Amino acid sequence: MSGRQEKSEKTARFGRVLTLALLGTLWMAAACGSGSSSSAATAASAIPGGTSAGTGGSAGNTIAGPAPNVAALTVNTGPNFLFTSVTVCAPGTSSCATIPNVLVDTGSYGLRILASPQGATGTAITSLGLTQVRASNNLPLLECVTFLDHSYIWGPIERADVMIADETAGNLPIQIIGDPQFLDDVPSDCGDGNPAHNENSFQTLGTNGILGIGLFIEDCGTVCAPPNPPPGPYYACSAGGAGTCEGLLNGNQNNATSVPVGNQVSNPVAFFVHDNNGTIIQLPAIPSGGETSVAGSLVFGIGTQSNNGLGNATVLSVVTTKAGAGSSNPGSFTTQFGGQAYPDSFIDSGSNAFYFLDSATLAPILGGNALPPCPQSGAFSNDSSISSFYCGTLSSSATNVGSNGASTVVHIGVANAETLFMSNNEAFDTVAGPNSGSFDWGMPFFFGRNVYTAIEGVTPPSGVPAGPFVAY
């Protein structure tokens, strides 16, 4: 039995704060993987990284060149949105669509794509002929993913072949966001129940989808599976208009349902034939003032090919099971800072900033009001989301400690977010904001490092520790 609290944040520069991972609640789940990794050694060129002045790494990380297990990454909007392209096909067919600008999120699990993605090529998503996943009562299976501001995404679960680079996960359950035939069926306990907060377009979500490649396999696991009572995210509903689908808060029409793990939205990497035990995100270091765009590589597999070895990376094992109230969340490790330990810390490419503690907690550590939140007026007077960032500066360090006892010291560099956002840049390694009680090592952490995410429940190759762990 394992579990995780899926949490991460994104902020559109002139938009509101959202999270780009599933539900801010704890889901206890088993991560059931399959297959062992094998290799057909593939050579890849390596490009040295630059120098980073922020939370990212130092010079010397490498970026894999083109190879069958390498997908291109870009950071060019957001700010700090990490994108790749994904191809989905009707299972076993050539009826496919290639979807750009899919957000890469190590803090969630499974592929979720818009029914009408922007800039996709090939067959329209709704015309692909994907296989509808059905609940035990034979009604279509749908899922509600709620963000921290109570907005949400809603849509059916369908099976597809998922291809990224030259890797394929066959017949995988994915979520289709904003499928037109189910738009009016949103249950009242999904998000805040306001249809205006349904993030079902590129304009509202800020991405064509979410590629969850985190530490676990299913997005919910055994806690959502029979014979357990339904915890809320999955529903069995027919397409029939408003009020036809209701959840746990409506005793008259309860369409919430338990779902076998094999039908849950799942991490596609774990179902690749090869290179399926984890991923490496490789991005160059950048100047503290940021860059307009950054290119990097998403490498599949850890120790399965010549281009994805652990090298001298430090492995930090993470918590796999929440032992009870007050214990650490699965997927987390401990960050030590200012003489205190913060055990619910995590690394997450779906967070567009480095989120840690809050101004009140930092004041006695740093002295005075060293890292105030940005004001809700000024250069961004019409953008209340700027207050979710810090508008001070900091140069310090923290120590990350895994459950295996391994530790590393990490530099913390923070710049004034309002000043950063006044530039034309979109990639920043010094942007930060508050996250009370823990350290969310978001996108700034990834610049200048090779960051490994090893999946629980997948057999690794010889010489590589079993997941879940993070390494860098």
- CA-to-CA distance for 325 and 102, rounded, in angstroms? 35
pLDDT score, position 243: 65
Q: Look up residue 16 and give its two tokens.
A: 């509101």
Tens of each residue's pLDDT in the chain, 472 residues: 223 333 333 333 333 333 333 333 223 222 222 222 222 222 222 333 334 568 887 656 899 999 999 999 999 988 999 999 999 999 999 999 999 999 999 999 999 999 999 999 999 999 999 999 999 989 999 999 988 777 899 999 999 999 999 999 999 999 999 999 998 888 888 888 788 889 999 999 999 999 999 999 999 888 899 998 887 799 998 876 666 787 665 555 578 999 999 999 999 999 999 999 999 999 999 998 999 999 999 999 999 999 999 999 999 999 998 766 667 888 999 999 999 999 999 999 999 999 999 999 999 999 877 899 998 755 554 455 688 899 999 999 999 999 999 999 999 999 999 999 999 999 999 999 999 999 999 999 999 999 999 999 999 999 999 999 999 9
Q: Which two three-digit tokens encode residue 75?
A: 């950071």
In order of their start, the domains of the chain are 2-37+44-271 (2.40.70.10), 312-471 (no CATH)
Per-residue model confidence (pLDDT) at position 339: 95
Q: What integer pLDDT is reported at residue 3 of this predicted model?
A: 31
User: Both tokens of residue 101?
Assistant: 């600008």
Residue 401: per-residue pLDDT: 98
- CB count within 10 Å of CB 248 equals 15
182-201: b (≥16 Cβ within 10 Å) or e: bbebbbbbbbeeeeebbbbb
**Tell me, what's the pLDDT at 25?**
28
The structure's pTM equals 0.88
Please give the pLDDT value at position 367. Answer: 84
Give the integer Cα–Cα distance in Å for 342 and 365.
14
CB 178 within 8 A of CB 281: no
Amino acid 388: pLDDT: 87
- Residues β-bridged to residue 161: 89
